[in-house]
Structure 1
């Protein structure tokens, strides 16, 4: 077969909404001399409806109303009025969506709501976590007791909270919990949230991101202009632009949400040359070429929390006064958090994260011969106490003074980062001595903590002040 001159098969191929279910069979085991100590999971919520109605009118014909929320509509609410102390009354409730014309339709989703497909995929994600960390590795217990082995946290959004509930049900359903165990889901107030770049509480970050968005529009709108002849008829005759009406990011959101649910979309958006061009422009608007300041204000506090909890885990068994930390910490968050983490760590693949995509950090310990003398407890921990966040500076000072570290070598610690089923080679761990020899994906905890320290604001409130 002779290919037509000038043809481009990639340009003519189909665009497909990416999927990233957790790969159990493909999970790579660490070297045999490493022992898993702690796992941090950041997972995007499951499939949802678009956050706004777009392209509903002909010829787009993407549904305005999505009848994909039939599950979890009936629930039992706690209400006041019980005659028994500490035991609120129960009220059976069915939640139903009412349209603006007063018509109520059971099973209809709200805008931006987790759908039945999203509930199923996040449950499957939790089941996959169980298969890896309970059944395959034996890292977590088969039956969850009253111990603090697990930590569950979500942003204060219904779709992330419900996604986390499904993940918990897959990982530890009540049949796999001892009597009396109640799963606790932690949620922070909006101004204290660090699972996303918090523009609500950080005006400086908001200003920087707005400026980047303007710059991206100037740079990438010309690349979108050739698409007008194909897609403008679906968005009210308007041009497709990063700062258009609707915004290109909103068009991409609707297209990918529809694809994820098997909803027919205009054929032009199935062309890779069209939708990949839109995705590239949107990704650059949101994430590319951000400064160190944006990384510090956006993801610095999240990474600082992660690093602190890893360092606390290294103390267990050697410092009896050390705070006990969970074995697995699961955070239900958003696409912007995953892409923000990847961009901050210089491993972003320039693709918008899929539903239930996840970023995982695993802490390993390489056991050394017990009884060996070590000249420095810092070497035993493999963490430099100078890289601690100022508010946590006392953590390692306590450890350095504890006698077990002066008598026995605790072992070396390594961090493995994984994103969408792939091990990541963190650039700041590439140099010799900053990763496990022969395993560049296993960053030393010291090198990891040093980079996190550089990304951690010393005074977040001050740095977030407008004009700081």
Structure 2
């Protein structure tokens, strides 16, 4: 009898104090399969070879995101309402056709209409709002942000590091071969991703590659492309780069979690969805120091979950980069457990969160001001010396002559 009571008490205690409650989910994903962004000069497949042109979501990309939406529906059944409820989800996309269409395809899988939400018989789809901003105003989802002088300085310094110089030297002949074969004016580690991207897209869609594109060439292109992704946000001064790039998005995610964990949360929001790019995921994962060094594949998805345990909150992260695997891979923030207490999560990521992005993007503001002051002082001194020299010259010209002077005899001039 006593053992039965003990078991009952333990069960009640576990139900009252041990159950975790999911509070908010944030998902960031890359768009689905697309046509190449551009073609190289000697490419036999120019833009006319693609039904919708360059950089556009393909039907395969639509299917990939429809499947991801179905995965999210299954994973969060019981958390998200089955019918679409506008208060529960907020969707933000970059202002590109492929990311907007990926979000639409994803939401079609996440919220198939039923009952009164079916507005046209036989159409298993309903419109759900997706928000965006003009590309030149995007500072949350499109990285790297190029209008940041300090980031440009860091990238210039990265190109002078031993690892970068070694890669450039090791693959110099290969880069020159690619330049000759493609007809490009130049090739570099930073730009080689575009060649791999074009060839990858063409191969994926059954287009025969040129003779020079062997499996070994594709393997080397992929290696250099991945290295290019790594140096954008890591390898050298990762934290400084992250403060200027992925830290902006991480800061927003943390703010959203902090609001959801407040005593009076702002509302019934349950999911925030970001539709973006491979560089967005890399920038965020480098800020978190969990990037695996490989370009995120199409429709890959980084998931954040905010859980509540009694009065405490914790964050769990997962990465879905392989749709053939049933469950996404758990990610662990360095220095914390896989289920990381929210306050520890905030503390451990503080070093990559910008406090004033505009100010931090300025190159050596203090040093520049000092240089300007010194320069002005030097110019002032030179100008003062010139004024003094001019004054002395004028004074000497105006003084009466006290030495010998020849007096002209007018009569002699006439004679």
- Alignment of 1:418 onto 2:318: yes
Which of 277, 288, 295 does residue 352 from structure 1 map onto?
295
Q: What runs of 5+ residues in structure 2 fail to find an aligned partner?
A: 1-17, 120-125, 322-327, 366-415
Indicate how the Cα distance of structure 1 residues 110 and 252 shifts in structure 2: closer, same or farther if over 3 A, else same.
Answer: same
Summarize the Cα distance change of 1:259–1:359 in structure 2 as closer, same or farther, 3 Å threshold.
farther
CA-to-aligned-CA distance 1:206-232 (integer Å, 9 cap, x gap):
443354356575332223235369756
Which of residues 29, 32, 39 in structure 2 aligns to 1:46? 32
- State which of 130, 141, 158 in structure 2 corresponds to 1:185: 130
- Take 1:41 and 1:177, find their aligned partners in 2: how far apart are those partners? 28
Cα RMSD after superposing both structures: 2.9
SS of the equivalent of 2:275 reads strand
> TM-score, normalization: structure 2?
0.71
Question: Which residue pairs with 1:6 in the alignment?
Answer: none
Equivalent residue number for residue 81 of structure 2: 141
User: Per the alignment, in what secondary structure is the counterpart of residue 359 of structure 1?
Assistant: strand
Q: CA deviation at 1:362?
A: 0.9
2:21 is aligned, of 24, 30, 35, to 35
Measure the CA separation in 2 of the matches of 1:116 and 1:178.
25
Match of 1:305 among 227, 230, 252: 252
Partners of 2:178 and 2:149 in 1: CA distance: 35
The 10-residue stretch of structure 1 (341-350 or 280-289) with the greater mean CA deviation from structure 2: 280-289
Q: Distance in 2 between matches of 1:130 and 1:198?
A: 31
Q: What SS does the corresponding residue of 1:38 show, helix, strand or coil?
A: strand
Shift of 1:205: 2.5
Asked whether the equivalents of residues 231 and 240 of structure 1 are also in contact (C-alpha less than 8 Å), the reply is: yes
Of residues 261, 272, 275, the one that matches 1:329 is: 272
Please, which moves more after superposition, 212-221 or 447-456? 212-221
Residue-by-residue CA offset, 1:425-462 (whole Å, 9 max, x unaligned): 21131xxxxxxxxxx31111111111333322221221
Contact 1:145/1:177, CA 8 A, preserved across alignment:
no
Question: 1:158: Cα distance to partner?
Answer: 1.5
Larger radius of gyration: 2
Matches of 1:366 and 1:177, distance apart in 2: 36
Give 1:256's match in structure 2, choosing from 196, 200, 208: 200
Please, which runs of 5 or more residues in structure 1 have no aligned partner? 1-31, 69-107, 368-409, 430-439
Equivalent of 1:64 in 39, 42, 46 = 46
Q: Which residue of 2 aligns with 1:278?
A: 224
* 2:182 aligned partner: 235
Deviation per CA, 1:295-336: give whole Å up to 9, x if none.
111022211111111111123xx43xx411521111001111
Deviation at 1:140, TM superposition (A): 0.8
Deviations 1:86-109 (A, max 9, x none): xxxxxxxxxxxxxxxxxxxxxx22
Larger helix proportion of the pair: 2
- Once the two structures are superposed, what CA deviation does each residue of 1:397-425 show, in whole Å capped at 9, x if it has no partner? xxxxxxxxxxxxx2x21111112321112
Deviation at 1:145, TM superposition (A): 3.0
Cα pair distance change 1:343/1:176, threshold 3 Å: farther
CA distance in 1, matches of 2:332, 2:89: 27
In 2, the alpha carbon distance for the partners of 1:446 and 1:177 equals 43
Contact 1:47/1:355 (<8 A) preserved: yes
CA deviation digits over 1:147-183, x for unaligned, max 9? x110100011121111111111111134477489862
Q: Could you tell me the TM-score, scaled by structure 1's length? A: 0.63
Cα separation, partners in 2 of 1:457 and 1:284, compared to 1, 3 Å: closer
- Alignment length (residue pairs): 330
Q: 1:285 and 1:66, CA in 2 relative to 1: closer, same or farther beyond 3 A? A: farther
